[in-house]
Amino acid sequence: MDDFALIKSRHSVRIYKDRPLKEAHKKALEEKVEDLNQREGVHFRLVWEEPKLFKQRVPSYGQFKNVHNYLLVAGDKDMDPMVLGYLGEDFLLYAQSLGVNSCWVGMARFFNKNLVQEKEQKLFAVITLGYGINGGNPRPSKSLDQVTQGKKPYPDWFIKGVEASLLAPTARNQQKFVITLKDDGQVDFHHKRGFFARLDLGIVKYHFDLVTKSKGDEV
């Protein structure tokens, strides 16, 4: 499956089968986390077979079931949430490529403050993991014109990047991002006001970079 097809196949999945993850999948995901944690200030941690967190009433609008595995998206307190969104989405799409479904959960971080015990670190979000009872569903999206700025006609690579960005998960599907194609061909990412909008922007930029092979700037 190519990267665009992988992105298209992903939807948030909140209801999972009551079945443990395969050891090979756990191992692959652990290795991925080890790799992502090489970045300074990033402290992702996988939690396996721990059903309690989501059995308590996590303040979330979505209904979750059988969440037994999750990733703590943690980092140094002063970390730019955009970086954690970017790397978290790298992890999430890798999980998707293995057939492991997921959902970003922002509100979990307010719920259980002792999930990350180190004083200088902070929990920015959680990503649930498991085999979904299905692959989730497509949802409404803004249009390309609503999230872009720049001189038209846009080149094909830019359109493809924006289409991949529109398929990115954002908190409450708010899609508060704006992608600008500048006259010099550089791409600029920014966001309007919104809860988790900066973390969302990192997620969106990861989608854009993946299909355009990093035509944007480094995060």
Neighbours of 101 (CB within 10 A): 24
Rounded Cα distance between 49 and 27, Å, is 14
Of the candidate residues 93, 203, 204, 210, the single one contacting ligand FMN (CB under 6 A): 203
Short-list 126, 91, 122, 127, CA closest to 108: 126
The piece of 18-26, 42-50, 143-151, 192-200 that touches ligand FMN (CB under 6 A) is 192-200
Asked if 172 interacts with ligand FMN (CB under 6 A), we say yes
Beta-ladder partners of 179: 148, 189
CB of 34 to ligand FMN, least distance (A): 23
Asked if 12 interacts with ligand FMN (CB under 6 A), we say yes
Between 32 and 169, whose beta carbon lies closer to ligand FMN? 169
Asked if 171 interacts with ligand FMN (CB under 6 A), we say yes
Rounded Cα distance between 207 and 210, Å, is 5
Of the candidate residues 6, 15, 47, 107, the single one contacting ligand FMN (CB under 6 A): 107
User: What spatial distance separates the first Cα and last Cα of the chain, rounded to whole Å?
Assistant: 26
3-state secondary structure (DSSP) of residue 45: strand
CB of 103 to ligand FMN, least distance (A): 5
Asked if 199 interacts with ligand FMN (CB under 6 A), we say yes
Asked if 206 interacts with ligand FMN (CB under 6 A), we say no
- Interior/surface letters 117-151, b for 16+ CB within 10 angstroms, e for the rest: eeeebbbbbbbbbbbbeeebeeeebeeeeebbeee
Whether the CB-CB separation of 161 and 212 falls below 8 Å is answered with: yes
* Binding map of ligand FMN across residues 31-70, x = CB under 6 A, - = no contact: -----------------------------xxx--------
Kindly list the residues in this chain that would bind ligand FMN in the complex (CB under 6 A): 11-12, 14, 60-62, 103-107, 125, 136, 139, 169-173, 196, 199-200, 203
